[in-house]
Structure 1
Amino acid sequence: MAMSAEAIELLIKQGLPGATVRIEDLRGDGDHYAAHVIYDGFQGKSRVQQHQMVYKSLKGRMGGELHALALQTSVPE
């Protein structure tokens, strides 16, 4: 079963409080998404560490309910 964009956004915001999150359904199939996450807690972290933080917030749904997620992460300007 696929996840909704709203569910993905909620999980990320719960895992990364204060983050700005924008989710795009890339194919309109509810299975391939892009997430743009801006979070102060990414400060000083490598891109890999930032992505790991986002994946952790998804609580094991990556690869199951959530098939594909393209990530763009950054700190606020």
Structure 2
Amino acid sequence: MPMPAEEIVALIKAALPDAEIEMTDLAGDNDHWAARVTSAAFHGKPRVRQHQMVYAALGGRMGGELHALQLTTKTPDQDN
């Protein structure tokens, strides 16, 4: 069953309360998402660790309820 954007955002915000999250439905099916997550919690962490933080927030839903997530992470002071 597809996972709506609101649920993905809620899970990420529960783990990263300051996160600003932009969601894009890549296929129009609520199953293939792109997420751009901005959080101060990412400061000083390599990109891989930032992504792990987001995946951890999703709890084991990747590959099940959430089929695909194209992830971009950044800190608030980064331009892109």
TM-score by length of 1: 0.97
Pairing 1:42–2:42 present: yes
- 1:19-58 CA-to-partner distances (Å, cap 9, x unmatched) read 1011110110111000000000100000000000000000
Aligned identity (percent) is 58
Listed as ranges, the gaps of 5+ residues in structure 1 are: none
Alignment of 1:6-45 (within 5 A): 6-45=6-45
Cα RMSD for the two superposed structures = 0.5
Give 1:15 deviation, angstroms: 1.1
Listed as ranges, the gaps of 5+ residues in structure 2 are: none
Q: State the distance in 2 between where 1:29 and 1:45 align.
A: 32
Displaced runs of 4+ in structure 1, greater than 2 A?
none
Q: State the distance in 2 between where 1:16 and 1:56 align.
A: 11
What is aligned with 2:56? 56
TM-score by length of 2: 0.94
How many residues are paired up?
77
